[in-house]
Structure 1
């Protein structure tokens, strides 16, 4: 992924967060990005009080190598992902891919 595409993901995360802020949501909810000691990343986004609050997606995992992996799930009003040290961009892209798929499925229904 090129640098401009990576920056688009950061912009999209910023826009997503801003669109959830309603002078209430941001006081209790948000997102967290942390490092793992194996090494890797965790990304968690609160979906409570959003259109995806009741969505449940069972854990899905992709293992390519010991250091190249990704897993995610949605449960209890949270999108939770973790991945290898070089999978952060993929984790953020996956977050938006999942939300886009859910939005598109909702529009079809």
Structure 2
């Protein structure tokens, strides 16, 4: 399944008439350049799930990097300009673990 479709399915599975009014998925650009993704976990099955974090620097560290963590009830991921798909796949892989 395509990463964006999988994220849409995860989002849709959280929508219960209330959650979507108070919680967000934010995807925005950074000026270094790069991406930042913030996903609210409150009132989801992931709210209390431990996450050790992710830090990767690939072939070109100034562009090919991601850092992900859970802070204050939110999953946060940031990465280089070509790493948006990798950031989203990192979240989805963690969300799919049982």
Give the TM-score taking structure 1 as reference length: 0.81
8 Å contact from structure 1 (residues 58, 73) kept in 2: yes
Aligned counterparts, 1:2-81, within 5 A: 8-64=2-58, 65-81=61-77
- Contact persistence 1:55–1:75 (CA under 8 A): no
Higher relative contact order (CA 8 A, sep 6+): 2
2:94 corresponds to? 98
1:13 to partner: Cα distance:
1.0
What is the CA–CA distance in structure 2 between the aligned matches of 1:67 and 1:37, rounded to whole Å?
12
User: Which structure is higher in helix share?
Assistant: 1
Q: Secondary structure at the match of 1:92?
A: helix
Contact kept in structure 2, 1:30 and 1:46, CA below 8 Å: yes
Shift of 1:76: 1.9
Aligned residues: 96
**Which one of 84, 91, 98 corresponds to residue 88 of structure 1?**
84
Deviation at residue 61 of structure 1 after TM alignment = 1.2
RMSD (CA atoms): 1.3
Deviation at 1:58, TM superposition (A): 4.1
